[in-house]
Amino acid sequence: MADTKFAKIIAGEIPADKVYEDEHCIAINDINPQAPVHVLVIPKQPIEKLADARPDDQALLGHLMLAAGNIARQLGVDDAFRLIVNNGAGAGQTVFHLHLHIIAGRSFAEGKMVG
């Protein structure tokens, strides 16, 4: 697995605007936010993309979802946020270290799945 910029952020080799950290993940403000709240939840254990996750990763994946809810609450956006995972370059993934986007603070068109 490539040494991605998120691995470097977790290792403290490049700086990031951290909003949360626990034993299994960190959350940082996205450097190029698409909404007033745009946070990335990143597992410390690298998985290239969601489709590469294995049954052994089940607890970690659950942990990331719970963390996302808690971070949204901490940021005061737990009533309305969107959680996005881009899987693969064709879906817009640019950093190949699994991460969840928490997007909030802008209006979401009713019934619209993405964007």
Beta partners for residue 81, in sequence order: 104
Q: Is residue 110 exposed (0-12), middle (13-18) or buried (19+ Cβ within 10 Å)? A: exposed
Binding of ligand AMP by 5 (CB under 6 A):
yes
Question: Exactly one of 38, 63, 97, 99 is catalytic; which is it?
Answer: 99
CA nearest to 84, candidates 46, 115, 44: 115
Paired tokens of 12 = 């403290």
Instruction: For ligand AMP, give the closer residue by CB, 79 or 87.
Output: 87
Positive or negative, the Cα torsion across 101, 105, 106, 110?
A: positive
Task: Tell the smallest beta-carbon distance from residue 5 to ligand AMP (Å).
Answer: 5
24 is catalytic: no
Stretch that binds ligand AMP, among 42-50, 57-65, 89-97, 102-110 (CB under 6 A): 89-97
Site for ligand AMP in 9-68 (CB under 6 A): 16, 28, 30-32, 40
How far, in Å, CA of 70 to CA of 26, rounded?
A: 12
Stretch that binds ligand AMP, among 46-54, 62-70, 86-94, 102-110 (CB under 6 A): 86-94
Catalytic residues: 99
Q: Contact residues for ligand AMP (CB under 6 A)?
A: 5, 16, 28, 30-32, 40, 86, 92-95
